[in-house]
Structure 1
């Protein structure tokens, strides 16, 4: 195994030499298994700190069935998802696997990285109480103060979710803890008592908090507006949580088969990223698209209860209850259990929602208990604003982009021109490339092929990340919602109300082409005029003769010249003087355009300027003569 991990062929000989000096001891007579003192182990690991080597070692250990040792290796590689997958593949609980290890169990029990990996595994599985204990163990084991604080911060992000009175003092300046507390508050507290920051709340995590707040308050449309752009967030949890929430909120408007497939895909994606509790919620939420999936959702809820995933059990219970009510089925038993669970967790707002649903359920079935529920609801209204009243959330910060691709390149965000003078050439080219394809994703390999055609993709990919960061820096505070990661691609997002001269040009010409058989001359002239107003010069003139740009630049130049000729043709009968000006403008775009010279000659003739007409014909003949 040493040979496989280190890429050598002398491992056996080296181990025999170490055995002769008693640095390691043979485990049996085979001469292939050895054990060493803890001090030797620590020395070897400190000399080979590479995460890559730890991953390679973990893979070799898995292949040989050393599950506990593989878990430890993945922990040291900080590959938390792989560590969790290893434990799952072993088919054992961590305590049982630890005790069955081939190395002394104390090595595993006292290893802070193993404790942290176990804590993160439990967090991803929704077992927040157990995760907090594992985080405490990691804090007590780490000698590095930075890692101790890291474990403390991660533990504090979970403490809010354990139920009333279970919170702990927050580490100072712990942004992640603050975000977690806000997210907890918007699903548990009277929303007008949650002081969400009105300013500076445009980064993905804040938008996630505000989007979920809007959803809890019943503002589903507002919630989808806030959460939709987060699908491309670089933070995997934010991306997954926002996409799952959007699919659930839009389930009524989409085809059931589409929503089910999307939730299934997201469930698999969340599981592969180690967020198993999120995967279970996505799986159970499919019941909202088809009540016949209730048994599956109930099985998921039972799994949450078995694991101690209280919030997963609560949210799956909410989904089951809503699906049953919509289908006209009796949701009373699950509703009552879910209401009790919401009460235990201190989720006052969710409890109010559920009690409203229970009242509607009982009223539909003429149950006299409906009156009792009304009394309960009145009590909860004193603590949580009823959803029907609506809560004024901080309005989303509108972002408007103005993009000029014709002539000198310019980009402005919310009226503020972006200063591109500090951008290096490759970062500026990246921005140009994304702007020409605004709204469409561009694969990383395509971008790398344009920017670094002679560089291996691995190195080019790293350079691309640096260039993306540089571009985002000049786009301002909303950069992460404008230049987004779209899987293996990048995309320049155009929020509603944005203006892009390239799109204006193309849309106007598209309207002109489709309206030639139905629109009057005035309407066609207006569309052509709008297109030509947008065309201020060749596409991104300052890029020069860039190979990636030349074909598109030439195509648009030809379209602009043709559009000018079409407009001059419409003007010729009614206003030949204006047609002259239009032709001259078009010839500045393409001086070899035959139709423009022909129309210019005719327009001069119609205005009585015969000498100018003859000169125009002569000028064209000079241009085309060899």
Structure 2
């Protein structure tokens, strides 16, 4: 191709026509969106990807051209390409190179688009895909007009994909109406929480729990560049530190601030930058609010232009209100303080708070007053009869800062409500009592008492404890308590579903009774919650509908080509759950958002929607273990049912055990019944497990042991080469344990049958922890191991506590380490023929080093070296036995294995050399002798001469 470029070299920049390296996560949701562009039956010939910087436009375009394998030409526009000649020649060179057709390059040499189009119309020109990236760089120029001409006149065998930060001047409406154009915007490119989880697990190899992935999605609004920058900032951190960094992610992140400054704000005119900076104080934007705050006019037009240009500005109601992208909003709030100073920033927030309050936007007003540190205004707005005020974590962090009042009844009540919505029931009850104590007002006290009673329904109660009677009346206090009692009663027993007055409660009752189809019918005909309903009821009703659809036995799946997988139906369901979850988070209902996240993870597990979905579901259960028990119980129910349907039997059994434990602790037997009815593979309401792209976990050994009732299961414990624990030949699901619990199981297995003091365990696994926190961590790990082994079929109590020590007791278990050491000892007392057999048997047990899974942990290194040296000595002794029975071939193999295990085992070297000489292989003996001397030289020791060795009698190895 070099000869074709000679005349065009002065104007062709190869970097502009270089296709970028494919990277990032391939998202099936977007693949299905672009399906009309692919394949021989493609329904359209043009794509426009329109999104702000850092949204993943180039990544999507690169994945598109890689997906179908047809010739692809790439051109990245620049500010220097404003003339038709520059555009035409770059397009011609890119297409000619992709199609290996010099005629196209020659046709573009004139610099006229018409000539390029005629060159592409030749019969010999085949189909190709052309990508024009960074189209915004030539907006409003002759080059853009020439590109529009090219799009209109080109052969339709040339499909075109365009990437731009803002709406181009092309007549895209005509292409949309004709069906020739697909448009993908920033909302489409936004990463959903399950995609963030998959990105960090599959691409970055830095897994996040579903909860942490959801929090990171919320804080970055799924912005691709923000996720990449977060990964770069945390790639050297461990998992715990990485997830802590998610909670601490703020607008002061150095990498994110640098990216936004250089790629977003620096190119703006000064007045536009000031507009963004000052209006960020409002949080929610309208033309009138911005005009009042800035004391100017024309703000509505500015907001509409920002949204039209995809400048991190969105509207969800057709232009009545706008919001800045969360990442930009956070960055602007930091800049506001940095550039205006603390006093001026507080004054601006105070003005914004008053404006928002005057227009009835109380949630945003509370946030603005809190940033202005006007705690009196905050307390006034958070009065006793106020509804839920936002889910802004920043606000609640500010209420905990020094200077915020701690004795204001309104703020204390707001904190109590926040704790209740976060599932922290005991703390919420204490805060309600404190609020009642601070204000001696009958109405206030009655409200606090009613809310406290409604929250108190969710304290752990046995299934036999009596619930209070349902209170009469239509006042908000009675309605809230009545609803709480009805819900609590549903967790204990399911009455006739038609007896509930709310549609979503009737649907939930059908679900608990094991009839998802009836629940779906009720939800489909349900009316929206009335004006007297609580703020969360609409969201709860939506989740109940999603749950009914997820649990329906005949829910369709549409596998992708080549492997099973989710279809558009799964995408839509997970997308609806995501919307409800994000709304719950923004509206200040974290417990409802957690339930949505549980359901979302379960749907992905059931549909195979995410690589590593089994691990993600197990991570979800573990991440909720330290939170509220009700969220964990609902998560366990969802995972138990969908894991059974997906064929992940070990995970299903683990989740069932959690359901049984928590339902007993919390007093919720109805959820156990639901799990049994919907999670039983033999149930008529449950579909037969379908093939999955997932690799299902092994079935529990308990199922195998049931074949012979009353017989004791056979247990095999292996620590050499790789850890394994099998019951009746089936692997126990120990891999589902958390890392520390897995290490504890292995440590106890190493000392199987011998007690290990708790301080030794804590020092080994939780170094630096205080005794009290270490004991708590140890007890949690022991509990999870007990459950895991019980699910796997180990009978009795496998971990016995003796005072302050713990002992792993596996009755009748075959333990490879113990058998290995016992066989070595027994062989010492046998004659050479029998000893050789016994020692070879022991060597077969030594499959590799001790517990390689735990790496160089201090607690295993000494035993690992001891067993390795024992194996080396065993191999040398067996080699001597083989020489004694004249089996020289076996002797050579055993001696070589000995020196491989321990290069410093001198008797094995001498046996190896001596045996080579006995069989007449003098060259091999010379090589072995040289290797032996090299080992001594490395040790800095002088090797004795052979005659000295013979005189000193260094031939015995036993």
Is TM > 0.5 for Structure 1 vs Structure 2?
no
Q: Could you state the TM-score of these two structures normalised by the residue count of structure 1?
A: 0.43
Higher helix proportion: 1
Q: Could you state the TM-score of these two structures normalised by the residue count of structure 2?
A: 0.29
